[in-house]
């Protein structure tokens, strides 16, 4: 488990932007992320924003990032591969958009919009504690905040 950041400067909030589609799985990741953030950063605020689906996540992340009051944003969603290329196309668009937003706004945007083959994979990564991507997203967010603090201090 990473150590708690030495300073969080003036912004002390972490945002979670979560899809309501495949809600059972996304809510599992969100609950684990919030639990881990509360443990790692007990003095911080966690705000969650819900959007209808994965494709809508980047627009909400942009709005959250433009507020300037968050040290990191965690994007959570689950896309289950179907018989067409639709899921892959959405996943690629979301991935490219989140990377662009992170670089443009210069804040960590943690990408946990999962593209999985089936519900079994989603269950293992979203509901089970061993591989829970929400827990990992929270840990990465804290590590990235600290890394940026360290980089700016040098």
Average pLDDT, the chain: 91
Minimal CA–CA distance to 11: which of 63, 57, 50, 67? 67
Instruction: Kindly tell me the sign of the dihedral angle through the C-alpha atoms of 80, 82, 87, 88.
Output: positive
% of the chain surpassing 70 pLDDT: 92
The predicted structure's pLDDT at residue 43:
84
- pLDDT mean over 97-126: 96
Where are the domains positioned within the chain? 21-153
Residue from 86, 96, 105, 111 carrying the catalytic annotation = 86
Confidence of residue 114 (pLDDT cuts 50, 70, 90): very high
CATH 3.30.530.20 for domain 21-153, yes or no, is: no
- Residue 32 is among the residues annotated as catalytic for this protein: no
pLDDT bucket at 143, cuts 50 / 70 / 90: very high
């Amino acid at each position: 488990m990473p150590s708690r950041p030495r300073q969080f400067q003036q912004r002390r909030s972490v945002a979670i932007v979560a899809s309501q589609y495949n809600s059972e799985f996304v809510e599992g990741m969100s609950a684990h992320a919030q639990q881990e953030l509360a443990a790692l950063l007990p003095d911080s605020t966690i705000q969650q924003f819900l959007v209808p689906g994965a494709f809508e996540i980047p627009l909400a992340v942009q709005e959250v990032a433009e507020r300037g009051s968050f040290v990191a944003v965690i994007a959570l969603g689950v896309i289950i591969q179907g018989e067409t290329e639709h899921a892959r196309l959405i996943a690629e668009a979301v991935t490219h958009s989140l990377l662009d937003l992170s670089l443009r706004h210069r804040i960590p945007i943690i990408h946990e919009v999962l593209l999985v083959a089936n519900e079994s994979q989603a269950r293992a990564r979203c509901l089970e504690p061993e591989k829970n991507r929400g827990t990992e997203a929270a840990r990465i967010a804290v590590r990235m905040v600290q890394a940026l603090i360290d980089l700016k201090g040098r």
